[in-house]
């Protein structure tokens, strides 16, 4: 059994470096809303309280609060 912390301290990846198949059983708290970082691809994901994806992107320029508002 392995427990991963939330956030950057708990970044993890599971690899099978053998020719044999493996089985992995994962349990999650499924906290919602949630923000997830993917350090291997540089993406950030966000899900709503209902579990719907509201963002999957890579960081870009930081916008001002009123950007795009008239």
pLDDT value, residue 64: 92
pLDDT value, residue 14: 86
**Per residue, what are the HEC states of 10-61?**
HCCCCCCCCCCCCCCCCCCCCCCCEEEEECCCCEEEEECCCCCEEEEECCCC
Question: How do residues 5-53 score in pLDDT, each as one tens digit?
Answer: 877 788 888 899 999 999 988 887 777 888 888 888 999 999 999 889 9
């Amino acid at each position: 059994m392995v427990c991963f912390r939330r956030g950057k301290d708990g970044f993890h990846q599971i690899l099978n470096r053998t020719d044999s198949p493996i089985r992995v059983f994962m349990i999650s708290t499924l906290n919602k809303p949630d923000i997830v970082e993917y350090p291997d691809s540089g993406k950030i994901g966000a899900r709503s309280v209902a579990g719907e994806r509201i963002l999957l992107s890579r960081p870009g320029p930081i916008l001002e609060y009123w950007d795009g508002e008239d």
